[in-house]
C-alpha cells in the first residue's frame, strides 16, 4: 500500500535514457520530452546514437542515448543528469561519468548476468561491489516484470522483453509526477495502425508506474517548475524539421516553388524526409543517386526559377564543391544546408562537430565567394533556413547554412510563427521583354543581377561554367573583364555586411573579457557567461550567426575588449578566420573535438584560465 511521499520542487531536471540500440531509448526519450512539453515544461533534448550500425549486443560501442532537460528555462541540454535510466551494464559504464553525485540511477538487474558484465568490461558487478555508493540506485527486475505483463496480454516472449523501456518510463513518470494520460495518447498516435501494440505498451507503462508508486525506496517525488510562454501554437521540434519548415516558409514568402535535390546522409537525412511529406505545399523532392547529382539538380531547378536547395553533411559538402563553384559563376541562388558532423572523411557520422567552416568559407577553386550563415539552436534552424533562402535569392548567390548534428537532431519547444508575419522576400525577377535587359546588368547599389526565368519572353541568355562578359553574358577570356566579374561577385556578398543584423553583445559592451561563439554552441557559452556574471565577474559574450560576411560593426565590437576568447567545436577554424580578417587584434581560443557539445563547467574553467 502506497504512502504519501515528499514532493521536491525543482526548477529543472536532466534525465538520460541509455541502453542497447534495440532497447528503445530514442522512443523513451521522445515520449518523455513530449509529455514534459505538454505538461508545461520547457525542454531541450540530445539524441546520442552509436556510430556502429550493428554494434555487438551489450557492448559500450553499441550504447544509444537520449538526454532530456526539462524545467522553467532550458537553453541547453545540461552538463550532467539528475536521473540516469541505464538498461544494461554497458550503458551504465559508458554514462556513469555524466551522472551528478547523489543522482538517481534506475537500472535493470535482470541485465547484469556474467556475460553482459564481461562484454561491458566489468570484472565485478557494480550493483554489488560498492562502486555506486555515491548514487541513489534503484535496480528492480524490470525485464521480468515487463515481460510477464506483456505475455499475459498475448505478446510472444521475444517481443514482450522489448517492452522493458515502457516499464522504466512508467517509473520515471511517477517520479516526476506526470499523469499517464498524455503518454497514452502519444502511444495511440504512434501505433495507430497497431492498436494491440499500443495497448500492451500502455499496460506495461502503467505497471511500471504502479510499481514505483508502491515501492518504498522512493521516499520523495519531484515536481518540476513549468514555464510561462507567450500565447501561441507550440511544438517539440528538431533542428532538421525546423530547417525544412523554414525553407517551406521562404518558398511561400518569395512566391517560388521549393525544390530539394539531396542524397541521404547522416545526420541531415531528416530534412529530405520531412520535405517529402509536403507535396501539398508545392515542395518537390528528388532523392539523388549521389551528392553531385543532388547539387547539380538544385542548380538546374534554380535556373528554372525555383527556391532550390540541397542538404548534406561532412564529406557530402566536399563532393558538392565543384558544382557549388558553378552556382557562383552563373550567379544562381541555391541554399546548401550542411548538418555538420565529425571529420575528416567519413569521420564520426553520428557525432556533432563544427568541422566544416573552412570548407564553407574557402572550399572552392578560384575566387568563389558564398554567403555563410549558422543556426544556433533547433528552433533557430527555422529562422536561419528562412534567412539563408532570403539572402540567396535576393543576392543571386549560393548560401551555405551550417547547422550541426547536435542541434539538427536535438529538439526544443518552438512557437510556430504565422508565415504572414515573416519578412518579405523579393527575388530580383527580370520582366518580360524589358528593352534594357542584360543577363549581367547589376543593381548599382547591391551589384545583384536579375533572375531570368526560362520561357519568359525576351530573356534568352547564355549560361555555364566559363567566365562571362559583363552585361551580355557571352563567354569571355578578357583579363580586365575577368577581374571586374571577380570583384563584382565578391563585392555583392561583402555589401551584405551593412544589411544583415548588427553584432550584439550580451553584457557590457566594453571591458576585460569577451567570449565569442558561433553556430550551435550559443546556449552553452551564454549560460556559462551568465552564471559567471551572476557571481560578479565582468564578462561579456557575442555570438555570430552571419559569418560571410560578418556584420559591419564586428571590428567595433571586438576592439572594445582587452581579451577575446573564441570557443568552438573544432581546432580553431573561426578564430583563424577572425585572425586573418582582423590581424591587428589578439585572440585566444578554447576548442573541443570529441564529437560532444561543450559543457558549461568546462567553458567556465576555460574562461577562468584566460591569460
User: pLDDT tens, 545-597?
Assistant: 999 999 999 999 999 999 999 999 999 999 999 999 999 999 999 999 999 99
**Secondary structure class of 322 (helix, strand, coil):** helix
Distance from C-alpha of 349 to C-alpha of 285, rounded to nearest angstrom: 23
Residue 77 falls inside a structural domain: yes
Q: Give the range of the structural domain holding residue 256, as residue numbers without chain letter.
A: 235-421
- Whether residue 380 sits in one domain with residue 275: yes
Looking up residue 163, the CATH number of its domain turns out to be: 3.40.920.10
DSSP state of 176: T
- Whether residue 541 sits in one domain with residue 454: no
How much is the pLDDT for 228? 84
Mean pLDDT of 271-296: 97
- Whether residue 66 sits in one domain with residue 210: yes
- Whether residue 213 sits in one domain with residue 249: no
The strands making up 411-415's β-sheet, listed across from edge to edge, are 136-138, 99-107, 81-86, 12-20, 63-71, 42-48, 411-415, 234-238
How many domains are contained in the chain? 4
pLDDT (tens digit, 9 = 90+) per residue, 340-376?
999 999 999 999 999 999 999 999 999 999 999 999 9
CB 397, CB 542: distance < 8 Å:
no
Looking up residue 290, the CATH number of its domain turns out to be: 3.40.50.970
Would you put residue 595 in left (φ > 0), alpha (ψ -120 to 50) or beta?
left
- pLDDT class of 3 with cuts at 50, 70, 90: low
CB 257, CB 453: distance < 8 Å:
no
- Whether residue 29 sits in one domain with residue 122: yes
Residue 67 falls inside a structural domain: yes
Looking up residue 594, the CATH number of its domain turns out to be: 3.40.50.920
Residue 577 falls inside a structural domain: yes
Phi, psi of 393 (to 5 degrees): -70, -45
Q: Measured on CA atoms in the order 189, 195, 198, 199, is the torsion positive or negative? A: positive
Which of 499, 521, 548 represents a domain boundary (last residue)?
Answer: 499
- Whether residue 403 sits in one domain with residue 292: yes
Greatest pairwise CA separation for the chain in angstroms? 90
Would you put residue 232 in left (φ > 0), alpha (ψ -120 to 50) or beta?
left
Nearest to 160 by CA among 200, 108, 114: 200
Which of 478, 499, 520 represents a domain boundary (last residue)?
Answer: 499
- Whether residue 161 sits in one domain with residue 24: yes
Residue 141, C-alpha cell as written in the block: 527486475
CB 174, CB 209: distance < 8 Å:
yes
pLDDT (tens digit, 9 = 90+) per residue, 118-133?
999 999 999 999 999 9
Mean pLDDT of 79-106: 96
How much is the pLDDT for 4? 66
- pLDDT class of 138 with cuts at 50, 70, 90: very high
Which of 193, 224, 255 represents a domain boundary (last residue)?
Answer: 224
- Round the average pLDDT of the chain to a whole number and report it: 95
Residue 230 falls inside a structural domain: no
- Whether residue 28 sits in one domain with residue 112: yes
Mean pLDDT of 306-329: 98
Mean pLDDT of 266-294: 97
- Whether residue 449 sits in one domain with residue 391: no
Residues 6+ apart with CB under 8 A from 417: 249, 382
Residue 506 falls inside a structural domain: no
Residue 1 falls inside a structural domain: no
Distances from the Cα of 487 to the Cαs of 298, 392, 395, 419, 431, in angstroms?
25, 18, 15, 36, 26
Mean pLDDT of 447-459: 94
Residue 229 falls inside a structural domain: no
Give the CA dihedral 554, 556, 561, 565, nearest 10 degrees: 10
Strand residues in 291-398 grouped as ranges (E): 307-312, 334-340, 371-374
CA atoms within 13 A on the CB side of 394: 19
How much is the pLDDT for 218? 79
- Whether residue 445 sits in one domain with residue 405: no
How much is the pLDDT for 1? 45
- Whether residue 452 sits in one domain with residue 387: no
pTM: 0.95
- Whether residue 259 sits in one domain with residue 204: no
Residue 213 falls inside a structural domain: yes
Amino acid at each position: 500500500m502506497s504512502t504519501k511521499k515528499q514532493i521536491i520542487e525543482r526548477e529543472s531536471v536532466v534525465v538520460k535514457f541509455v541502453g542497447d540500440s534495440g532497447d528503445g531509448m530514442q522512443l523513451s526519450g521522445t515520449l518523455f520530452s513530449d509529455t514534459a512539453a505538454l505538461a508545461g515544461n520547457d525542454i531541450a533534448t540530445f539524441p546520442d546514437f552509436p556510430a556502429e550500425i550493428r554494434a555487438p549486443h551489450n557492448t559500450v560501442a553499441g550504447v544509444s542515448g537520449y538526454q532530456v532537460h526539462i524545467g522553467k528555462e532550458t537553453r541547453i541540454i545540461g552538463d550532467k543528469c539528475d536521473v540516469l535510466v541505464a538498461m544494461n551494464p554497458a550503458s551504465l559504464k559508458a554514462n556513469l561519468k555524466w551522472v551528478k553525485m547523489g543522482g538517481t540511477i534506475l537500472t535493470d538487474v535482470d541485465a547484469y548476468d556474467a556475460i553482459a558484465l564481461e562484454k561491458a568490461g566489468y570484472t565485478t558487478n557494480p550493483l554489488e561491489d560498492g562502486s555506486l555508493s555515491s548514487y541513489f540506485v534503484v535496480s528492480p527486475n524490470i525485464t521480468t516484470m515487463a515481460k510477464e505483463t506483456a505475455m499475459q496480454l498475448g505478446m510472444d516472449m521475444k517481443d514482450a522483453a522489448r517492452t522493458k523501456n515502457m516499464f522504466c518510463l512508467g517509473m520515471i513518470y511517477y517520479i516526476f509526477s506526470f499523469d499517464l494520460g498524455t503518454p497514452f495518447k502519444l502511444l495511440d498516435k504512434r501505433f495507430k495502425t497497431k492498436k494491440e501494440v499500443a495497448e500492451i505498451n500502455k499496460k506495461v507503462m502503467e505497471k511500471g508506474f504502479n510499481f514505483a508508486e508502491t515501492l518504498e525506496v522512493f521516499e520523495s517525488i519531484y515536481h518540476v517548475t513549468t514555464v510561462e510562454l507567450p500565447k501561441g501554437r507550440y511544438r517539440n521540434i528538431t533542428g532538421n524539421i525546423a530547417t525544412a519548415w523554414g525553407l517551406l516558409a521562404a518558398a511561400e514568402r518569395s512566391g517560388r516553388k521549393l525544390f530539394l535535390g539531396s542524397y541521404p546522409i547522416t545526420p541531415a537525412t531528416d530534412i529530405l524526409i520531412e520535405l517529402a511529406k509536403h507535396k501539398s505545399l508545392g515542395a518537390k523532392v528528388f532523392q539523388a543517386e549521389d551528392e553531385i547529382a543532388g547539387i547539380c539538380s538544385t542548380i538546374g531547378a534554380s535556373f528554372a526559377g525555383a527556391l532550390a536547395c540541397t542538404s548534406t553533411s561532412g564529406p557530402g559538402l566536399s563532393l558538392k564543391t565543384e558544382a557549388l563553384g558553378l552556382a557562383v559563376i552563373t550567379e544562381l541562388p541555391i541554399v546548401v544546408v550542411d548538418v555538420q558532423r565529425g571529420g575528416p572523411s567519413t569521420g564520426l557520422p553520428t557525432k556533432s562537430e563544427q568541422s566544416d567552416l573552412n570548407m564553407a568559407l574557402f572550399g572552392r577553386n578560384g575566387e568563389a565567394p558564398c554567403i555563410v550563415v549558422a543556426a544556433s539552436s533547433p528552433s533557430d534552424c527555422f529562422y536561419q533556413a528562412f534567412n539563408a533562402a532570403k539572402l540567396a535569392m535576393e543576392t543571386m548567390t549560393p548560401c551555405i547554412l551550417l547547422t550541426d548534428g547536435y542541434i539538427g537532431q536535438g529538439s526544443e519547444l518552438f512557437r510556430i510563427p504565422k508565415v504572414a508575419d515573416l519578412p518579405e522576400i523579393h527575388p530580383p525577377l527580370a520582366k518580360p521583354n524589358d528593352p534594357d535587359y542584360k543577363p549581367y546588368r547589376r543593381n548599382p547599389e547591391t551589384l545583384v543581377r536579375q533572375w531570368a526565368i526560362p520561357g519568359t519572353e525576351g530573356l534568352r541568355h547564355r549560361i555555364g561554367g566559363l567566365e562571362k562578359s559583363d552585361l551580355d553574358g557571352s563567354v569571355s577570356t578578357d583579363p580586365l573583364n575577368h577581374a571586374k566579374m571577380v570583384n563584382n561577385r565578391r563585392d555583392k556578398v561583402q555589401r551584405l555586411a551593412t544589411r544583415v543584423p548588427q553584432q550584439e553583445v550580451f553584457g557590457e559592451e566594453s571591458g576585460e573579457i569577451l567570449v565569442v561563439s558561433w553556430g550551435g554552441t550559443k546556449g552553452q557559452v551564454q549560460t556559462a557567461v551568465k552564471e559567471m556574471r551572476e557571481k560578479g565577474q565582468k564578462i561579456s559574450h557575442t555570438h555570430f550567426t552571419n559569418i560571410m560576411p560578418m556584420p559591419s560593426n564586428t571590428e567595433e565590437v571586438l576592439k572594445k575588449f582587452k581579451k577575446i576568447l573564441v570557443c568552438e567545436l573544432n581546432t580553431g577554424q573561426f578564430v583563424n578566420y577572425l585572425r586573418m580578417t582582423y590581424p591587428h587584434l589578439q585572440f585566444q581560443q578554447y576548442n573541443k573535438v570529441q564529437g560532444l557539445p561543450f559543457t558549461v563547467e568546462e567553458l567556465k574553467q576555460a574562461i577562468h584560465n584566460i591569460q
